Amino acid sequence: MAEEQQSVQLQDIAAGDHEAYMRLALSLATKSPPKPTNYRVGAVVVDANTNEILATGYTLELPGNTHAEQCCFEKLAERHSVAADRLGEALLGDVLLYTTVEPCSKRLSGNLPCVDRILAIGKKIKTVYVGVQEPEKFVSDNSSRQKLKDAGIEFVHVSGLEKEILEIATAGHNKES
């Protein structure tokens, strides 16, 4: 029942309503456990042609220090029965990615950075919509924006939710550091 209700809410977002998609991603971020060692991030992958939500994710949703974008891609890969690094071959159309915080360009854990996961999907991702740039607390000089632009992927800042996004993203952090 809850899944059906969520499905209806997801389908109520009009194509091009970037703020609504960002609010959905922000609601997902609240599901991530607050920890001092990561940001709570939400992400949504949308079919650019049909406006269908293909996957949602949030930080630590799946096992293994997972980021929100990574969770989306892993769930999509599983749905298409392909390895995550071959997801671009399985996606039929162009997709859009909404993420509350700029995709990471470096992982201190040694995991593949989210920007590299996006680039591995290839030209299927046309635009990445971002709520805030990654704060420099863990990794300074995030190069994701430039890497995406260099690959021909549009990087769009969806403004207006920065304060809310940062409050949720940094829950569990020592605010004095």
Domain 2-169 CATH assignment equals 3.40.140.10: yes
pLDDT in the model for residue 4: 37
- 89 contact partners, CB below 8 Å, separation of at least 6: 82
User: Scanning the structure block, which residue is given the tokens 């607050």?
Assistant: 34
Query: What is the domain partition of the chain in residue ranges?
Result: 2-169
pLDDT in the model for residue 28: 97
CA 114/CA 146 separation, integer angstroms = 14
pLDDT in the model for residue 85: 85
Q: Which residues are catalytic?
A: 69
Please report the DSSP string for 56-90 in residue order.
EEETTSSTTT--HHHHHHHHHHHHTTS-GGGHHHH
pLDDT tens-digit series, residues 67-84: 999 999 999 999 999 998
Reduced to 3 states (helix: H, G, I; strand: E, B; else coil), residue 20 is helix
